[in-house]
Amino acid sequence: MAFDGQADQKFSRRAMKAELLDAETEAQLAYAWRDQRDEEALHRLITAYMRLAISMASKFKRYGAPMNDLIQEANLGLMKAAEKFDPDRGVRFSTYAVWWIKASVQDYVMRNWSMVRTGSTSAQKALFFNMRRVQAQIEREAAAAGEQLDSHQLKQRIAIEIGVSENDVETMQGRLSGSDFSLNATQSSEDEGREWIDTIEDTGEQADAAVEHAHDTEQLREWLLNAMSALNERERYIVQERKLRDDSRTLESLGQELGLSKERVRQLEVAAFQKMRKNLETQSREVHHFLM
């Protein structure tokens, strides 16, 4: 759900009025969601900790991202936490959710800091969010001790303090201090100067290859549809649910739905694939004979 300014204010007011959960109620809601997929319990759990999401999001305002976007990302992190939370571990949900909320907001900030991807490894995150603070602290301590650090010494101490390589420090310094430039800017001040975009190699698919790929894809699609038509209704359904969905169904869940054992569903799946394979082999031979 995207927030505009008015929706953001309504969301914040609702979060501030949300119930405060004690440990027992929180655990009951977590179990109800995990074991029974009780959406009402999930809603109560998430709503109760919206204020935590807003509080975490506000800590990243200094990076220039709109507050409503930060809140939205924090809320996504909160929902991920609720999905993955295991109450059997004996940890409060708020303690667990903080990590997911922070990770979600940090990823958003880093993605939108520059058109050039900054990176998302733990080392790169540590540098992005801590380097300026650590650098300022090192410079203060050096000044208090009467030291004058050159750029190499400064990078070396930052690397040691954060636990990364000096090369990582140098790369991040460049990214944080630089700006994004238009690829349509000219390489020189001359009127006929070549634009930077002209120096980039076109790695995209050429027109003839694109047409050939589209033709092959359409041919394969027709073969697959013909092979599927050779199956009965139940076999087609099993193949669709097992292989053609983004979130593939399990044999057990299909068995429960169709009133069959898990093993019987597996047998039907194997038989369906064998039928499809024979159909595809027949089509392949026919095409080969036609071309000859």
Q: Model's pTM, two decimal places?
A: 0.44
The mean pLDDT value of the chain amounts to 76
Q: pLDDT band for position 33 (50/70/90)?
A: very high
Mean pLDDT of all residues in 229-240: 87
Q: pLDDT band for position 286 (50/70/90)?
A: low
What DSSP element (H or E) covers 242? helix 233-243
Least confident range from 122-126, 160-164, 260-264, 270-274: namely 122-126
Q: What is the DSSP letter of 259?
A: T
139-to-100, 158, 159, 178, 185 alpha-carbon distances in Å = 33, 10, 14, 21, 37
Tell me, what's the pLDDT at 79? Answer: 92
Give CATH for domain 209-291.
1.10.10.10
For the chain, the structural domain boundaries read 5-113, 122-178, 209-291
- DSSP-derived 3-state class of residue 270: helix
pLDDT digit string, tens, across residues 49-87: 988 899 888 888 877 778 888 888 999 999 999 999 999
- CATH class given for the domain over 5-113: mainly alpha
Query: What whole-number percentage of the chain has pLDDT above 70?
Result: 70
pLDDT digit string, tens, across residues 181-205: 444 555 555 545 555 445 444 545 5
Dihedral sign computed on CA atoms, order 135, 140, 145, 148: positive
Cα–Cα dist 114/175, whole Å: 8
Q: Which tops the pLDDT comparison, 125 or 234? A: 234
Alpha helix segments (H runs only) across 150-232: 151-162, 166-177, 207-229
Residue 178 CB contacts under 8 Å (≥ 6 apart), including other chains = 114
Q: With 80 as the cut, is the pLDDT of residue 4 above it?
A: no
Q: With 50 as the cut, is the pLDDT of residue 122 above it?
A: yes
Mean pLDDT of all residues in 113-121: 51
Mean pLDDT of all residues in 83-92: 89
Tell me, what's the pLDDT at 32? Answer: 93
Cα–Cα dist 44/25, whole Å: 10
Q: What is the DSSP letter of 61?
A: G
Tell me, what's the pLDDT at 17? Answer: 72
Q: Which of 7, 85, 98, 21 is nearest to 57 (CA)?
A: 98
184-to-124, 195, 243 alpha-carbon distances in Å = 29, 5, 45
Q: Compute the C-alpha angle 153/123/52, nearest 5°.
A: 120
Mean pLDDT of all residues in 237-264: 86
